[in-house]
Amino acid sequence: MYRAMDLLEEKRREMILISADKTVTEAVKVMVDNNIGAIVVEEAGRIAGIWTERDFLRNSLRPGFDPTRTPVGELMTRKLHSAPHDISLDRLQEMYLGLFVRHIFIKKNDRFIGLLSIGDVLRASLLEKDRRIRELNEIVSWDYYEDWKWEKRNR
């Protein structure tokens, strides 16, 4: 069964981190340069939150919002959701739907080892289902049905 750790290994991408005292503009630049929609925020050398495109949109309408001066740490989401590294993709999908979140940190030995978005998991899940369907089609091909009909007619 396909698990979160398998997906992280295939993804081959380290978490992109930014210090909580960096400005929103600096965070946006890092996100654009890395083609990502969320960035992990650290304080005092530990993961303290996550900041996403939605956080930017939500806060951009606040009176006095200045992305060149506002630290990303003031706007980040501090409540982090996590799952164990050996969780199945099906269970992860349930977590996204149940928690109404788009990002879940993956943990191993009480340490964050990666970040998966709902897009990562849905894509991997669809690819896994496609692989299973192809596998089943190879087992039960059209020839199988043709042979079965032939045997039935000749009894």
pTM of the full structure: 0.81
What are the pLDDT digits (tens) for 24-53? 999 999 999 999 999 999 999 999 999 999
128-140 mean pLDDT: 86
52-71 mean pLDDT: 93
Q: Is the pLDDT of residue 15 over 80?
A: yes
> Exposed e or buried b for every residue in 66-91, given b needs 16+ CB within 10 A?
ebeebbbbebbbeebeebebebebee
What pLDDT sits at residue 35? Answer: 94
Distance in angstroms between the alpha carbons of the first and the last residue of the chain = 42
Q: Where are the beta strands (DSSP E) in 30-102?
A: 38-43, 46-52, 82-84
What pLDDT sits at residue 144? Answer: 63
Domain residue limits, the chain: 4-121
The reply to whether CATH 3.10.580.10 applies to domain 4-121 is yes
Residue bearing tokens 């788009």: 102
